[in-house]
Amino acid sequence: MWLSTLQAFPFLTADPTNDLGQLRTMVAEFLSDKEFNGAHGLQITDAMAVAIAAQACLPVLHLGLHWYDDFRGIVVHSGAMLARREVVDDAGVVHRYNEALTGEAMPHGPVTLSWADVAASGESAQAGYNVVIHEFVHKLDMRSGSADGCPPLSSRVVWENWRVTMQASYARFRTQLTMAERFGAEPPWLDAYAGTAPAEFFAVTSEAYFVNRGRFAQEFPELLPLFAQFFNASAAP
């Protein structure tokens, strides 16, 4: 089952600095600690659980599994799910609507995933897309108190470098989106959803960092050393 998982998701073995033995051990610990539940009667097989765990462990392989100790539940839907939303506009009018989601991470709560998107992660890596990594990176981000695009960091100096670099990269991405939408320029490589908030930019770029490192390095050279320092820092808090 482990070998089949590595074959189905080649990005798991793409980084030569990753110790696959360490990853397998962490996956086993993850599976023993977390609870999987299928929504609407979906049966979670061992293979499904291992596939999710392997991808979830990539961001914390060098950080430690304790970064995920604020929750236990993982809810898996067969496909995209509908979430009820309520927004109050500036005039005080309440707008209620349904939003289609492929995943969601709740503060101190469960992670929800679309199995259809998880299963397709091997193919979608070319586009830098991975729903598991996206939602679990939100979990890392939330450890600082709220999802704001900046996880807990080791020092004030590291935090300041993170803030300045990420803000500049986010602004550049949003400019690319504007040029594409308004003036017909070539759209950026990553999903436009990355431009909706700093937290989403961090999550979306992290997806690309782990599943398509080569293209990520071309598109975001300024983020490559930043992410390498954070995700490979075994002494991080």
Q: Name the token pair of 236.
A: 């991080």
Look up the domain containing 98 and give its range: 2-231
Is residue 193 included in any domain, yes or no?
yes
pLDDT for res 10: 97
- CA torsion sign for 127, 151, 74, 10 is positive
Is residue 12 included in any domain, yes or no?
yes
Write the CATH number for 176: 3.40.390.10
Is residue 236 included in any domain, yes or no?
no
Q: What is the pTM of this model?
A: 0.91
pLDDT for res 17: 85
Is residue 163 included in any domain, yes or no?
yes
pLDDT for res 96: 67
Q: Are 65 and 26 in contact (CB under 8 A)?
A: yes
Is residue 35 included in any domain, yes or no?
yes
Is residue 237 included in any domain, yes or no?
no
pLDDT tens, per residue, the chain with 237 residues = 999 999 999 999 999 888 999 999 999 999 999 999 999 999 999 999 999 999 999 999 999 999 999 999 999 999 987 666 566 667 766 666 566 789 999 999 999 999 999 999 999 999 999 999 999 999 999 998 889 999 999 899 999 999 999 999 999 999 999 999 999 999 999 999 999 999 999 999 999 999 999 999 999 999 999 999 999 874 344
